[in-house]
Amino acid sequence: MKLNRVLVANRGEIAVRVIRACREEGIESVAVYSDADRSSPHVRAADLAWRIGPARPADSYLRIKAILEAAVASKADAIHPGYGFLSERAEFAEAVEHAGLVFIGPSSAAIRAMGDKTAARQRMRAAGVPVVPGGTEPVTDVPGAQVLARALGYPVMVKASAGGGGRGMRVVAGPDALGPALTSAAAEAEKAFGDRRVYLEKFIERPRHIEIQVLADFAKTVHLGERECSIQRRHQKLLEEAPSSAVSPQLRRDIGSAAIAAAAAVGYRGAGTCEFLLAADGSFYFLEMNTRIQVEHPVTEFAYGVDLVREQLRIAAGKGMTVSEWPMAPRGHSIECRIISEDPANGFLPSTGTIRHLRTPSGPEVRWDGGVEAGDEVTRHYDSLLGKLVVHAEDRSAAIRRMRRALSELVVVGVATNQAFHQRLLADPAFQRGEVDIQFLERRTDLLTGADDPARNLRLAVAAALAEEDRRQRRKPAVSGAGENGGEWSRAGRLEGLR
């Protein structure tokens, strides 16, 4: 089957990413937009665009009916959900299927099977996928929970059965704290998921967060290795890598086989990700499967030379994946830095405003996946990811050096970003030695704030604006790195910490 026109039910950088893949495949794209982003890059990038409602996601990007109406009105034959929003809602995949459209993702049944965390745990265990030791059924009473916790050994973790994303989770150090933790976790789970069921797991101390990229078509299921996602703060990932420095070829085969078994157990099709905790002793445990394309997919694309969104489009059209020589080994090393609008001086709250100037890095094996351009508004309605800076190089240390160079070229004026945080992290000796786990940034709060040069971005933007004006007026440069006086300025700029 040929896909002729794909509606992208998303916005920002992932919508732009999907639209680009569609164009390369000769497929027309339809963007959707709300009142808050009708002139955003994803709208300008697409062949057609459809308004779906007011700014609030609940009134637009989360409205299944509005998305389906846009798809029918624009004569799209398929819908790509991106990540977030409706991407992992089984009802959405089902509604798309019922409307006679192609959902670019797994079946609604596979999404549903992975969505219920305790049910998925049981299924995975039955399929031989290692899960964290713990209960298979929700906790019903405190004495029963205490018996199980004692058998597992403290510390244990209380988790929401409907869970995911860290909500309704509690670490419990000993038997006295168990009762209160069960009560508060159940209340939080009720509020977050409308389901108060909770269960127990052994708490894994200082693990890494590793995830395996899976790709499945009608004929086969393969994995494209791991991504190291341990650098996170409050469940928001900030930097990802492929491969992980903690994963040997043998361990990659083992975790990869577990991920393939997990996907096969639910009849998975398309691109998906299995999340694991990797303990210091090399043992690993399945956490959950994300049934969508992920933010950090580009590091896998660089390490494996595969265009994952293209593969999604091909698989949805029934063409099968292009990956034929498999198993495949990663080549070199890739790093992604998420560039987020947030203000360290204001409790890391999202920073909003108009992007006044944006200069994005380039060069060999440097990729910018962005969702905003100069002139665009960053509002509090949507997530704070402005774009992703991704590099690839022959090994990890070269990739770190390349990323530091690329970050030195990034200029964002108008909103505060975490750009300087990334520079501090990449310069850190412990990070450079690969000594990371999910608590790294809790221990290293010193990296979160620093003596940043407050005028750095503004100065670079002014220099760019002056150079632009010089070019326009075709006159001798007033400010430049070249020429007699320009040389002075350039040297001074560097000494002041321009870069």
- As annotated, the active-site residues are 292
Question: What is the rounded distance in angstroms from the CA atom of residue 473 to the CA atom of residue 150?
Answer: 77
Should residue 105 be labelled a site residue for ligand MV4 when binding is judged by CB under 6 A? no
- Quick check: 50 and 74 in contact, CB under 8 A? yes
Q: Residues 132, 293, 393, 460: which binds ligand MV4 (CB under 6 A)?
A: 132
- Quick check: 208 and 436 in contact, CB under 8 A? yes
Q: Which is nearer to ligand MV4, 277 or 339 (CB)?
A: 277
Q: Which stretch binds ligand MV4 (CB under 6 A): 68-76, 82-90, 195-203, 474-482?
A: 195-203
Should residue 149 be labelled a site residue for ligand MV4 when binding is judged by CB under 6 A? no
Should residue 166 be labelled a site residue for ligand MV4 when binding is judged by CB under 6 A? yes
Q: Which of 260, 256, 238 is nearest to 247 (CA)?
A: 256
Q: Which is nearer to ligand MV4, 201 or 228 (CB)?
A: 201
- Quick check: 251 and 212 in contact, CB under 8 A? no
Should residue 390 be labelled a site residue for ligand MV4 when binding is judged by CB under 6 A? no
> CB 114 → ligand MV4: shortest distance, Å?
12
Q: Which stretch binds ligand MV4 (CB under 6 A): 91-99, 202-210, 419-427, 467-475?
A: 202-210
Tokens of 351: 């920073």
The DSSP output letter for 204 is: P
Exposed/middle/buried for residue 442 (C-beta within 10 Å: 0-12, 13-18, 19+)? exposed
> CB 167 → ligand MV4: shortest distance, Å?
8
Should residue 274 be labelled a site residue for ligand MV4 when binding is judged by CB under 6 A? no
Q: Residues 37, 188, 240, 288: which binds ligand MV4 (CB under 6 A)?
A: 288
Q: Which is nearer to ligand MV4, 101 or 139 (CB)?
A: 139
Q: Residues 157, 214, 400, 406: which binds ligand MV4 (CB under 6 A)?
A: 157
- Quick check: 285 and 131 in contact, CB under 8 A? yes
Give the other-Cβ count within 10 Å of 54's Cβ. Answer: 13
Task: Provide the strand spans (E) within 234-350.
Answer: 236-242, 270-278, 284-290, 333-340, 342-343, 349-350
* DSSP β-ladder status, 353-354 and 377-378: antiparallel
Should residue 295 be labelled a site residue for ligand MV4 when binding is judged by CB under 6 A? no
Q: Which is nearer to ligand MV4, 166 or 450 (CB)?
A: 166
> CB 187 → ligand MV4: shortest distance, Å?
18
Q: Which is nearer to ligand MV4, 120 or 224 (CB)?
A: 120
Q: Which is nearer to ligand MV4, 288 or 336 (CB)?
A: 288
Q: Which is nearer to ligand MV4, 232 or 360 (CB)?
A: 232
How many residues in the shown chain lie near ligand MV4 by CB under 6 A?
15
Should residue 438 be labelled a site residue for ligand MV4 when binding is judged by CB under 6 A? yes
Using CA of residue 2, residue 93, residue 129, residue 435, what is the dihedral sign?
positive
In angstroms, the first-to-last Cα distance of the chain is 51
What does the longest C-alpha to C-alpha distance in the chain come to? 82
Question: What is the rounded distance in angstroms from the CA atom of residue 454 to the CA atom of residue 458?
Answer: 8
Should residue 304 be labelled a site residue for ligand MV4 when binding is judged by CB under 6 A? no
Task: Provide the strand spans (E) within 180-248.
Answer: 198-202, 208-216, 221-233, 236-242
Should residue 212 be labelled a site residue for ligand MV4 when binding is judged by CB under 6 A? no
Tokens of 171: 């670490």
Look-up: residue for tokens 């929700």?
138
Q: Residues 102, 182, 287, 389: which binds ligand MV4 (CB under 6 A)?
A: 287
Q: Which is nearer to ligand MV4, 115 or 414 (CB)?
A: 115
> CB 242 → ligand MV4: shortest distance, Å?
16
Q: Residues 232, 351, 360, 417: which binds ligand MV4 (CB under 6 A)?
A: 232
- Quick check: 294 and 195 in contact, CB under 8 A? no
Q: Residues 92, 193, 203, 431: which binds ligand MV4 (CB under 6 A)?
A: 203
Amino acid identity, position 184 = S
Q: Residues 42, 80, 121, 209: which binds ligand MV4 (CB under 6 A)?
A: 209
> C-alpha distances in angstroms, 422 versus 54, 62, 388, 449, 478?
34, 32, 12, 11, 32
Q: Residues 66, 96, 204, 358: which binds ligand MV4 (CB under 6 A)?
A: 204
Q: Which stretch binds ligand MV4 (CB under 6 A): 177-185, 186-194, 200-208, 314-322?
A: 200-208
> CB 203 → ligand MV4: shortest distance, Å?
5
Question: What is the rounded distance in angstroms from the CA atom of residue 386 to the CA atom of residue 415?
Answer: 10
Should residue 168 be labelled a site residue for ligand MV4 when binding is judged by CB under 6 A? no
Should residue 164 be labelled a site residue for ligand MV4 when binding is judged by CB under 6 A? yes
- Quick check: 410 and 339 in contact, CB under 8 A? yes
Alpha helices (runs of H) in 127-219, residue ranges in sequence order: 142-152, 175-193
- Quick check: 298 and 334 in contact, CB under 8 A? yes
Q: What is the three-class DSSP state of 410?
A: coil
Contacts 24+ apart (CB under 8 A), 451-456: 452/344, 452/420, 453/496, 453/497, 456/497, 456/498
Tokens of 309: 């969104």
Q: Residues 201, 226, 301, 437: which binds ligand MV4 (CB under 6 A)?
A: 201
Should residue 161 be labelled a site residue for ligand MV4 when binding is judged by CB under 6 A? no
Q: Which is nearer to ligand MV4, 306 or 438 (CB)?
A: 438
Question: What is the rounded distance in angstroms from the CA atom of residue 395 to the CA atom of residue 331?
Answer: 9
In the range 327-386, which residues lie near ligand MV4 by CB under 6 A? none
Residues that bind ligand MV4 (CB under 6 A): 132, 157, 164, 166, 201-204, 209, 232, 235, 277, 287-288, 438
